Amino acid sequence: MFLKGKTALITGSTSGIGLAYAKALAAEGAAIMINGFGDADAIEAERKALAEASGAQAAYSPADMSRPDEIAAMVRDCEDRLGGPDILISNAGVQHVSPIEDFPPEKWDQIIAINLSAAFHAIRAAVPGMKARKWGRIINTASAHSLTASPFKSAYVAAKHGIAGLTKTVALETATFGITANCISPGYVWTPLVEKQIPDTMKARGMTREQVINDVLLAGQPTKAFVTAEQVAGLALWLCGDAAASVTGANLSMDGGWTA
Ligand code: NAD
């Protein structure tokens, strides 16, 4: 349990990849603050299970990642209730698929706010404590779309390219403080986020569900298999360890060869 005594704050961790991060870090003893939307009873059950797995505390923040004031308050709340955060994983994300001429401007603003600006606000609030403690791990969930584009995903691709740049800048600014900042760039991982974009992609491209899965989602993924959330969480766990202390400013692909 190499994370005993550490606290991890993970945004967007009521589902998918974020929940897998929470489980992986709790299994190594970290106190966890989860965040995100969903059914209150299901979230409370997850919180309890995380505390049992870690033998440490687990808390939930309902902060909305599109609201800078709520993000700053979430980081303060984590510090007050659990200490830290020593590990900050910005992971909350949403998607919208549409040709650019029909792309609703409010969807653009929402995606940039949740997938990019939220990480800025959370990092900005968490870095002073990490610098004071001379230890920190900042991990951002980027995407293969931080390195390459796909049509009809203008806001998402812009936000993910942006978070890769933000990660590099933070890495340079924190490099002498025992803090690392990296992003993980998965290819397609089978989560609710991917499942939800299938109907819009069917409409945008005039395809069936099977065609979207095989000819769009997995077309560029040479393994022809979805990445698993547990594999992504395994990489985050490694980034938290001493073996990764010199890995900073990196954009780590886990995409079945998509961007090769
Ligand atoms: P998901 O839909 O399963 O989970 C998204 C999480 O974000 C949920 O917990 C949700 O409640 C939370 N969330 C959404 N809006 C929020 C808001 N305003 N405030 C707080 N929380 C909010 O999706 P996922 O696939 O697990 O995605 C997680 C991250 O991984 C995202 O940043 C996504 O872009 C990225 N990613 C996913 C894939 C994939 O194929 N699934 C690939 C590459 C990158």
Q: What residues contact 134, with CB distance under 8 A and at least 6 apart?
A: 177, 178
CA atoms of 127 and 75, how far apart (whole Å): 10
d(CA 123, CA 139): 10
**Predicted local confidence at residue 135, as pLDDT:** 98
Give residue 238's pLDDT band: very low, low, confident or very high (50, 70, 90).
very high
- Residue 122 in any domain: the answer is yes
Residue 160 lies inside a defined structural domain of this protein: yes
pLDDT of residue 159: 98
In this prediction, residue 122 has a pLDDT band, given cuts at 50, 70 and 90, of very high
Q: What is the pLDDT of residue 73?
A: 98
Domain assignment present for 111: yes
Side-chain half-sphere of 163: how many Cα atoms within 13 Å? Answer: 37
Q: What is the pLDDT of residue 224?
A: 93
Ligand 1 atom, smallest distance to 14 CA = 9
- What mean pLDDT comes out for the span 3-17? 97
Give the model's confidence band at 248: pLDDT under 50 very low, under 70 low, under 90 confident, else very high.
very high
- Find out whether 152 and 109 touch, Cβ atoms under 8 Å: no
Q: Which of 33, 39, 75, 91 to mutate to test the pocket of ligand 1 (most atoms within 8 A of CB)?
A: 91
Domain residues for the domain of 119 are: 7-188+228-249
Cβ proximity of 9 and 75 under 8 Å = yes
pLDDT score at 200: 85
Peptide bond into 85 cis (omega under 30): yes
Place of tokens 């690392």: 180
Q: Tell me the two tokens of residue 118.
A: 């939220």
Q: How much is the average pLDDT of 151-166?
A: 97
pLDDT, residue 120, reads: 98
With respect to residue 258, please indicate whether it lies within any of the assigned structural domains.
no
Q: How many angstroms separate the most distant Cα atoms in the chain?
A: 54
We report the CATH number of the domain holding residue 21 as: 3.40.50.720
Q: What is the mean pLDDT of the chain?
A: 96
At residue 180, the 3 state secondary structure works out as strand
**CB 31, CB 7: distance < 8 Å:** yes
pTM of the predicted model, to two decimals? 0.96
Q: Name the domain count of the chain.
A: 1
- Of 46-55, 78-87, 165-174, 195-204, the poorest mean pLDDT is in 195-204
At 32 the three-state DSSP class reads strand
Query: Is the pLDDT assigned to residue 193 strictly greater than 90?
Result: no
Residue 67 lies inside a defined structural domain of this protein = yes
Known catalytic membership, residue 60 = no
Which residues, judged by CB distance below 6 Å to any ligand atom, belong to the binding site of ligand 1? 12-18, 35-38, 64-66, 91-94, 114-115, 141, 143, 186, 188-189, 191-194
In a domain, 184, yes or no: yes
Residue 123 near residue 170, CB atoms below 8 Å: yes
